Chains A and B, each alone.
Chain A
């Protein structure tokens, strides 16, 4: 079924479909899909993807019977189970969680700041069927863990979440995507960091082979705010991680990091994009990948430095280890600099595991497989040792051990 028919058939289940302005906007989006030939050669972000799965899909969404659970634990921490992208409303003096409602179209319908040629974001706008808003109130320091559960097979989740960190607030956010069913999640996180706020965003992705996850985030940072994001992708199914950040006011920072562990025929597409719009801001984009068997990955990193963004520091790094001759990793760093007083760099290193290092370790009595595993662990040691959350560190270590157990 094509996009238009799909939309028309299911529009009663999709948010804001009665709103005229949004109708007009969505018709434009449908036209884009109708007219675009999805030329992979001229749109690198579509590389390796079987688009048919995402364009010609069967729409299915179930409002969950079980409601989500929000626990307010001690030490300012909250645990949330989001079911099919839905979350109950909750409010106390530190945070406010609001389920998406039809009257919230102003908050949830606009994607002005996000690239128009991103088909997956456009699909999210078109078929939006769930999501929530979380506000961290002024000067509070909060921890939230969100477990995203999908209840049934063949669901198509189009979820949009808004996060607002008010002035002086700090949020440690752990998001887990661990689904074993045959569904597709298209999640868009829009994150607003007000003056002097901080968000540490951890994403753990560990879905089964038939689960597709498309996750996009757009963060905007006001004065003295910091956005740190760390993505750990252990999924056996397709994952797209596209994360955009705008440094809007002075002395704001964005650190976008990711590690992916691929095997079999799995594919992962990754992109980070930082726009420096003000003076004295810093950004860092680092993605590392380990690819085995016939797996494929792409990583596009972009730093855009506006003319006004003097004294910018912007760094990019991409590294990959190919454990098999049939694995491939395409990496493309880009810098666009319109200011003249900046420090920017980019680097990309992809190759097989260092044979000299393997020989050295084996010459001390370590088996080839043990030497390979120790070198893989050392490749991401810096990222793993910098996790200051003990529980997170344990989770990641366990998943790493599971991945390494399949390395032959």
Chain B
């Protein structure tokens, strides 16, 4: 199993958010989690990425034969886990290009691969940015600073394509995107899809799933997965909402 979440219970500030959650993802699969506001979707994404604000009450998570709780945030990223943020953080003064260069080399170092030099990295970045319709001038700016909502999401996907993760978690990547931006972003994701990597897509709406076809759709309500199936579930939610699952 690529990612195995077993009986995961998590709380924050005395509030139980995830309750005995189970989820298995195999290599090469695309899974979508849909759920109403406050159901715990972003908490799951943050816990997988290693955010330290949460208290793990019970359960375990295995990722590529590692106990995920043994790895800190950066080790998880270096092992190939990537979170595309719902609200990417603005970091004024930290330039995009050296930041991404340093990120890719930290991963290569852990994998005992040779570090990528400045010139090769610049070429790689330029080509990936061009694929996503990102202006080269944007790469001279500070991380997410002064970006529009759409630019921020596109930049998340650019980072994902550079870091080429084994498991990418997309936390409401469709929120705040117009239809053209949504198409560019989802095209970028589809280009990255191979038989060796997996995706966990968190969304409220079926629209995103029109562009990225999931193998499995899960409905998350009140901290647990209450129903799993194929893309017919997304159509069901689009028609009737989440009410019937609550």
Contact = CB atoms under 8 A, between A and B. Distances in A.
Contacts of B100: 364
A360 B94 CA distance: 12
Given A364-B77, A365-B77, A379-B93, A359 B99 contact: no
Interface string B149-167: 0000000000100010000
B182 interface: no
A380 B77 CA distance: 28
A365 B107 contact: yes
B73 interface: yes
B51 A364 contact: no
Contacts of B130: none
Interface in A371-408: 374-375, 377-382
B28 interface: no
A366 B85 contact: no
Contact of B77 (A356, A363, A368, A375): A363
A228 to B, nearest CB: 21
Query: Interface of chain A, helix or strand or loop or mixed?
Result: helix
* B interface residue count range (under 10 / 10 to 19 / 20 to 34 / 35 or more): 20 to 34
Q: Which 5 A-B pairs have the closest CB atoms?
A: A378-B93, A381-B93, A362-B73, A365-B106, A365-B77
Contact of B74 (A368, A375, A377): A368
Contacts of B107: 365
B136 interface: no
Nearest to B110: A365
B142 interface: yes
Nearest to A368: B74
A364 B159 contact: yes
A378 B76 CA distance: 25
B92 interface: yes
A49 interface: no
Interface in B44-78: 49-52, 72-74, 76-78
A361 interface: yes
Contacts of B1: none
Contacts of B192: none
B93 A363 contact: no
Nearest to A376: B93
A365 B81 CA distance: 9
A353 B39 CA distance: 30
A367 B50 CA distance: 13
B102 interface: yes
B89 interface: yes
B91 A366 contact: no
B91 A357 contact: yes
9 contacts: A354-B89, A356-B89, A360-B88, A362-B77, A363-B76, A363-B77, A364-B159, A367-B74, A378-B142
A66 B85 CA distance: 63
B91 A359 contact: no
B89 A364 contact: no
A362 B81 CA distance: 12
Nearest to B100: A364
Contacts of B91: 357, 360-361, 375, 378
B25 interface: no
A347 to B, nearest CB: 15
A370 interface: yes
B93 A370 contact: no
